Amino acid sequence: MKIKIAIQKSGRLYDDSIVLLKECGIDLRNVKDRLKTESDNFPLEVFFLRDDDIPQYVEDAVADIGIVGENVLLEKGKTVEVVEQLGFGKCRLSLAVPRNMDFDGVASLQGKRIATSYPKLLRQYLEQKNVVAEIHEISGSVEIAPGIGLADAVADLVSSGGTLFMNGLKEVETIFASQAVLVRNGKLSAEKMQVLEKLLFRIRAV
């Protein structure tokens, strides 16, 4: 019985996901189209997908398990189970404002326009802080929004802060700290659970 894992096809989680499998002693066959591949020494099939689609595929059992950032997982709100925090893909969803703005707490954003790719996480945060702001959802290059007059602030993923700095922004609040997690479909067969246990045992050993 093979278990199917969904990982990001390219991007920030790709290398670490492949390295993790390798360190678990799992050899992957090389495929040119990189749509999927499998292992000859472990009952594993690998699907390469956009990270945004991974929660849905795991919920729908197209993939049994997946590796995805907690940020994407919570934003998508799909019903899957988190099996393990993987310790890579660390970043934070942070609020950032133009460097010259007088920022005195989240209340400073009352009535302002905030650009983000994470409207759900941002909305929850603002509600918690009793701040009413306009959320502008954009899918990429959020950090340029204030510079082009699209927004007064951003809620964006940050690791070093270099991108924000280069765009004249300063990080002012952390909304959410994230890392990559292993998730699974909620209803795996006993056989697949056994394979997953075996994989987990190896993951915990590396």
Residues that bind ligand ATP (CB under 6 A): 8, 11-13, 50-52, 69, 71-72, 89, 91, 157-159, 178
CB of 74 vs ligand ATP, minimal distance in Å: 11
In the set 51, 59, 156, 173, which binds Zn ion (CB under 5 A)? 51
Cβ at position 128, least distance to ligand ATP in Å: 22
Q: Could you tell me the smallest distance in angstroms from the CB atom of residue 55 to Zn ion? A: 11
Number of residues that bind Zn ion (CB under 5 A): 2
Residue closer to Zn ion (CB basis): 90 or 99: 90
What residue spans of 60-112 are helical by DSSP H? 70-76
C-alpha angle 143-146-152 in degrees, rounded to nearest 5: 120
Q: What is the amino acid identity at position 170? A: K
Minimum Å gap between C-beta 89 and Zn ion is 12
Dihedral class, residue 201 (left if φ above 0, else alpha if ψ from -120 to 50, else beta): alpha
Among candidates 157, 121, 119, 156, which has minimal Cα distance to 136?
Answer: 119
Binding piece for Zn ion, criterion CB under 5 A, among 22-30, 52-60, 62-70, 188-196: 52-60
Structure-derived torsion over alpha carbons of residues 164, 167, 169, 174, reported in degrees to the nearest 10: -20
Q: From the CB of 17, what's the least distance to ligand ATP, in Å?
A: 10
CB closer to ligand ATP, 108 vs 163: 163
Cβ(118)–Cβ(155) under 8 Å? yes
Q: Which H helix or E strand runs over 4?
A: strand 3-8
Strand, coil or helix: what is 132?
coil
**Nearest to ligand ATP of 64, 70 (CB atom):** 70
Nearer to ligand ATP, 51 or 173 (CB): 51
Q: Which does 189 bind (CB under 5 to 8 A by kind): Zn ion, ligand ATP, none?
A: none
